[in-house]
Amino acid sequence: MINARDAVERARRNKTVIPAYNIPNLSMVEPIIRAVVDENSVAMIQIARVEWEKFEGKSLEAVAEEYEKYKNTAHTLLHLDHVPVIDEDLQEVDYLTLIKRGVNAGYQSVMVDASRLDLDGNIAATKAAADIAHAGGVPCEAELGAVMGHESGPMPPYEEIFATKKRFTDLDEARRFVRGSGCDWLSVAVGNIHGAVADNLKFQKKPEARLDIGHIKDLYEATGVPLVLHGGSGINKDYIKRGIEVGIAKINVGTEIRQAYYKVFEKTGEVAPAQESVYNCVCGVIRDMLDVKNTRTLLYG
């Protein structure tokens, strides 16, 4: 049985990455796990709060129950993604209760997002969540800066975001944040963006993002913790490869596989072909986008 903390640390040492696939629909769990095993990869299955609030993820417990049916403990892990303190509609969330529920449901790692608070507030909220996670024996991921895209309103043009470095993770703040919060992994804003979650935008193609590689390197050296890249779909492959070289050890993939499922399901009205679309998409992500085929052997022999 693999361990989340150890898997991410091994990925960092070996300059590869652990993909984390988001589950907005329970039917996606089985084909994703099947693809990961067939490609001899290592990956996380994860759900964010927004995916049970605005899609068909149902609940964190429902995903954990579905995961239990199909898990392969030599290849897969279960991660609770994006539990916000303030959500995309700017509403307060009972985030500590959700973190506790995740630990109790068997999630092997959790992620709290207090990035909409000021620095001191983010540190305090993250520490409270990390304390709960650590008491349950699991690592805690956090976010500093703002990976844009989940907000209800329109985003600025991507080129404006990158050129201005709007809400990129600050180097000095990152040092202080990791030291004060006790987080184990840090999600950073370095040019990456989330896929839109609004109903009228769910099939919208993401702009091809790029990454500030020098900034990733500086952040890793400043914090000493594995870095996480949210919004992995749509990023130029060369940037992903270079980002992994200098500090990225976990990468979230959501938009690509979500669209693979829903485009086929809405066309056919049938789950089975939508699942096969997800399976094929994940195999493509593993082989072509991330080059993580056979990482099980690379990491564990």
Catalytic annotation, residues: 81
User: Residue 232 burial (CB < 10 Å; 0-12/13-18/19+)?
Assistant: buried
Could you give the CA distance from residue 54 to residue 28 in angstroms, rounded to a whole number? Answer: 16
* Chain mean position to CA 44: 9
Could you give the CA distance from residue 149 to residue 16 in angstroms, rounded to a whole number? Answer: 26
Cβ atoms < 10 Å from Cβ of 265: 19
Residue with tokens 């072509």: 288
Could you give the CA distance from residue 215 to residue 74 in angstroms, rounded to a whole number? Answer: 34
Residue 189 structure tokens: 């804003």
Could you give the CA distance from residue 138 to residue 76 in angstroms, rounded to a whole number? Answer: 15
User: Residue 80 burial (CB < 10 Å; 0-12/13-18/19+)?
Assistant: buried
- Phi and psi at 288, nearest 5°, equal -105, -45
Q: How many CA atoms lie within 13 A of 16 on its CB side?
A: 22
Which is nearest to 70 in space by CA: 21, 32, 106, 24? 32
Task: Please give the full DSSP string across 7-50, using - where no structure is assigned.
Answer: HHHHHHHTT--EEEEE-SBGGGHHHHHHHHHHTT--EEEEEEHH
- Phi and psi at 86, nearest 5°, equal -120, 125
